Structure 1
Amino acid sequence: MNVLCVIPARYASTRLPGKPLKDIAGKPMICRVYERAAKASRVAAAIVATDDSRIYDAVLQHGGKAVMTRKDHPTGTDRLAEVAEKYQDVDLIINVQGDEPLIEPKLIDELAAAFDGDADLQMATVCTEITDESEQQNPNNVKVVMDKQGYALYFSRSLLPYPRHEGTPVYKHIGIYAYKRDFLLAYAKMAETPLEHAESLEQLRALENGYRIKVIKTPYRFVGVDTAEDLEKVNAIYRQMMQG
Structure 2
Amino acid sequence: MTRGFTLLETLIALVIASITSLVLLQSIMAVARGTAGIDIALAGALETEFSREAVSDALAASVADYLDSPGAYTGSTTRISGTTRRPVLTPHGLPTRFVLTLQPEAGGTALVYQEVGQPAGDGNERTGPREDSTLTNGIVAMRFDAQDLEFRFAYQSLSRLYDREPAEALDAWPPEAGFDPWYDYYRPPPTLVMIVDAEDQVLWAITSTGWNAPPIRGRDLEEIL
TM-score, normalised to structure 2, is 0.26
Select the structure with the greater relative contact order (CA < 8 A; seq sep ≥ 6): 1
Larger radius of gyration: 2
